[in-house]
Amino acid sequence: MHLLSLTVPFYNESEAIVHFFANVIPALEAIPNMRFEIVCVNDGSRDDTLQQLVAVSERDPRVRVIDLTRNFGKEAALSAAIDEARGDVIVPFDADLQDPPEMISLLVDKWREGYDVVLAKRANRDSDSGLKRWTAAMFYRMHNAVSEVKIPQNVGDFRLMSREVVDALKLLPETRRFMKGLFAWVGYRTTVVEYARVERVAGETKFSGWKLWNFALEGFTSFSTLPLRVWTYLGSAVAVFALLRAFYLVVRTLVEGVDVPGYASLATAVLLLGGVQLIGIGVLGEYVGRIYFESKKRPVYLIRRRHEAGQEHA
């Protein structure tokens, strides 16, 4: 039988762990002709998440726990879980159970039809606030407009990938990782299964508005240089406008003579161009910063301990 690896990052999910295993394990056991393992990555939790995960792994050898040295963020924790997975098929999953575990069997059915990647697409975003629905739609629209790599709309990390796809992901050397983009970049034969997402079973989301904004910036700068190119076009347009303005002033001076220019219009022009230049420098800084971090060649994450089948490994 094939082995399915469910890869799950955990960060301060103490309240959700009991519900998680009570729902996920029966759903995985119901998949015919499929063994499974659950790879749990503790991403530097400050509550008793790690202790609860280790206790489950001691009772059930199908549960493995990877304890990172600190909180590296969800993208790094997800990378660690995928790297540690041993399965023939790998399914990234969230601990909050907003994605129904029963959907996993449908993903497996599509994989058995010959697909390498099976995307779980949200049929709607009714569980989100109106503001989050609008910002999510704007992100997908803008990202896919400026990037050569298109991200499927309303598709998160929840998906099934074959071992061949995961091995391809491991070849990508980025340390600043935008996993949705990396998943899309590798390609392979892909299909989509729609589902309805529900509310969290317990706990609170770890993504604030500020974190989501930075996450969106990471997506834009990871897969497109158009934000840099825009400033070339904008600078060219301003330069052309300045030349036309200069030509107009010369002609007007020859025809009407010299007048006293307005200070307000001059100050406005200086402040406008100064602001545009600072924004351009900021965009350039985002890319220089990425080069700076990538040049360090630091690992994406560090593992402190591995817990499996009642044993502990460094």
Q: How confident is the model at residue 145 (pLDDT cuts 50, 70, 90)?
A: low
Contact 63, 167 (CB under 8 A): no
Per-residue tokens: 64? 């493995």
pLDDT band at 5 (very low <50, low <70, confident <90, very high): very high
202 falls in which pLDDT band (50, 70, 90)? low
Q: Which residue matches tokens 């840099």?
A: 228
How many angstroms separate the CA atoms of 163 and 73, rounded?
24
- Flag whether pLDDT at 236 surpasses 80: no
* Residue 213: predicted pLDDT: 59
Q: Supply the DSSP string of 69-118, one letter for each residue.
A: SS---HHHHHHHHHHH---SEEEE--TT--S-TTHHHHHHHHHHTT-SEE
Where is pLDDT greater, at 29 or 213?
A: 29
Query: Poorest-confidence range of 63-72, 76-85, 296-305?
Result: 296-305
Pick among 3.40.640.10, 3.40.50.970, 2.40.50.140, 3.90.550.10: CATH of 2-211+299-313: 3.90.550.10
Q: Hey, where are the domains in the chain?
A: 2-211+299-313, 226-296
